[in-house]
Amino acid sequence: MYVLKSIALAVAIAPLLISADNFPGYHSSGPRKTFAVRQAAANPSSRFLNDNSKAFAVNGKEIPEVNFDIGESYAGVLPISDRAGETRKLFFWFFPSAAPEARDEVGVCLGGGPGCSGLKSLLSANGPFLWPPGALAPVKNPYSLNRLTNFVWIDQPVGTGFSQGEPSITNQEELAEQFKGFWKNFVDIFQLHDSKMYFASESYGGTFVPHIANSFLESNDSKYFNVKGVAINNPSIGNNALQIEMPALPFSEYWSNVLGLDEPTLEKGRQRAEELGFTSYMKKYFTFPPPKEEWPQPPSPNKSTRDILVGAMYAANPCFDDYNIIHQCPTPYNQLVGAGADKASGGPAYFQREDVKKAINAPPDANWTGCAPKVFVGRDRSSYPTLDGTLANVVHKTKNVIVGSGDLDLVLPTNGTLFALQNMTWGGDKGFQRFPSTPFFVPQHGADTGAYGNLGSWSQERGLPFYSIRLAGHKLSGGSAGAIYRVIQVMLGRVKDFSSHYPLF
């Protein structure tokens, strides 16, 4: 039985979470709700504007296609070391916050991939302005993370987005060292010394962030590397067999009515899972509490159960999206992707436009893509952060790591993330002793595009919270944006936990 405690028919309910009021060119018959988004105004008295940072200043009134002032921000590239002639550089876009609590804080948002630009999250999920797929123009984002604290979106590692230079890393330790060099330069320029630092990421960022945070913490240098919290959702943190392959069958059985899967297809999946040893492995080890002994290496499939099931999903829905299984045809134009083979379908990706590059101090000759194919020399040779002690050490040292998942994600399913955590020891014990079942609550807050109420489940054991959001996919955005906003509030210490009824705004 699939363990998720979720609703039965996501397709019927999902449209209720989406309002057209934030999308230009569309008008509903009801009254329009307005939202005052607090932005820091760019002004000469800003504490971040100095002789070193002024070259990175962005004119918030001159962002292409954006018909409002996005506020104070700074963008550009910085080298990953102090070495003379360093050619490897990372791109950033930094948005100061008007929140008084942000005085001694800075948040960092990284993309996944590996090789996915942090700007993807900025434009599609948690930045000051969004350009949703199919919308005619960008819109203000009431859930922008810089409403809570100073936040910077970064393209890393080298080879990603607007970053410069040739990739040279082979593992996460080398990646962390390069990021440390960049971050030291960033802190010096914006005078963020001794600031409390918080990470937010998703997907392969679940591998990046624990290793970077652990490297920062082990340096014992609070002037530059003062990590105080980590929030990762739908993270890649463990063995692919546990996280991706084994959960595919119970996921498909649970959502079969949404996925259009018939019983013969499911039976083929069951037979394959049985042959591969998935069924018996999950039955023994995916338990609450988990077995305390060392787990054997999980079965390695030749032809996975997931392949059989996903093939049938595409047959039932030609526009199937394993990042969010309720997506249907047609697929709207996406500014992060740009035109495909049919150039009449649209122009280049937003960040590939020359006027956009100029506006945000991006390298004019850079070929921006949402996700780069190669950022490691060969493959990433690192171990999984749940197995090598990396994530457990960050939990131990910060007492502030939050892990979560959207239940509509088949790329890294909720139960797969839980499965990986069940094989991790932290705080003197292994895994969660009980399945997370406390309601995850988001107060009603007046934003048309944000769901509220009990949106999922959560629990916390030995200082590590885990949450799941029912109507969220791989990205906790769109109708679930209020949930990830709440996650960041909890990480920053603004709100006690995910049961709190404290106002969202």
| Average confidence score pLDDT of the chain | 89
- Region 172-178: what's the mean pLDDT? 95
The neighbour count for residue 23, using CB atoms within 10 Å, is 17
Centre a 10 Å sphere on the Cβ of residue 191 and count the other Cβ atoms it contains: 12
3-class state of residue 203 by DSSP:
strand
pLDDT at 310: 95
User: CATH number, domain at 429?
Assistant: 3.40.50.1820
Read off the pLDDT band of 340 (50, 70, 90). Answer: very low
**Rounded-to-integer distance, Cα 198 and Cα 203, Å:** 17
| Residue at token pair 């059989």 | 308
Q: What is the pLDDT of residues 252-277, one digit of tens each?
A: 999 999 999 999 999 999 999 999 99
Is residue 142 situated within a structural domain? yes
Q: At residue 331, what is the residue type?
A: T
pLDDT of res. 300: 79
The pLDDT tens digits for 430-482 are 999 999 999 999 999 987 778 999 999 999 999 999 999 999 999 887 678 99
497 is catalytic: no
Contact 309, 250 (CB under 8 A): no
> To which residue do tokens 């449209």 refer?
15
Per the model's pLDDT, the better-predicted residue between 279 and 378 turns out to be 279
Residue 381: band (very low, low, confident or very high) from pLDDT cuts 50, 70, 90: confident
Does 270 reside within a domain?
Answer: no
In the chain, the percentage of residues whose pLDDT exceeds 70 is 89
What would the two tokens of residue 294 be? 């060392």
Q: What is the mean pLDDT of residues 113-142?
A: 94
Which helix (H) or strand (E) segment is 403 a member of?
A: strand 401-406
Residue 207: CB atoms within 10 A of its CB come to 28
203 assigned to active site: yes
Within 13 Å of residue 437, how many CA atoms lie on the same side as its CB? 6
Antiparallel, parallel or unpaired: β 139-140 and 129-130: antiparallel
Tell me how far apart the alpha carbons of residues 370 and 454 are, in angstroms, rounded to a whole number: 33
Of the candidates 132, 146, 124, 121, the one whose C-alpha atom is nearest the C-alpha of residue 19 is 132
pLDDT higher than 70, residue 247:
yes
Give just the sign of the alpha carbon dihedral 174, 176, 181, 186: positive
Residue 43 pLDDT? 64
Residue 162 CA: distances (Å) to CA of 145, 187, 372, 376: 21, 20, 10, 16
- Whose tokens are 């499965």? That residue is 419
Q: Is residue 440 part of a domain?
A: yes
Q: How many domains is the chain partitioned into structurally?
A: 1
**pLDDT attached to residue 26:** 28
* pLDDT 10s digits, 344-378: 456 789 999 999 999 999 999 999 999 998 999 98
Phi, psi of 280 (to 5 degrees): -70, -35
Catalytic entry in 117, 144, 195, 203: 203
Q: Which of 195, 409, 477, 480 is catalytic?
A: 409
Alpha-helix residue ranges (DSSP H) falling in 319-448: 354-359, 390-398, 414-422
Position 90 in a domain = yes
Mean pLDDT within 208-237: 97
Q: What is the 3-state secondary structure (H, E, C) of 474-493?
A: CCCCHHHHHHHHHHHHHHHC
Nearest alpha-carbon partner for 479 in 4, 9, 1, 13 = 13
DSSP 54: G
Residue 409: is its pLDDT beyond 60? yes
In a domain, 386, yes or no: yes
Residue 449 has a pLDDT of 78
Question: Of 97, 121, 468, 474, which residue is the catalytic one?
Answer: 474
Catalytic site residue 409? yes
| 468: containing domain | 41-236+381-492
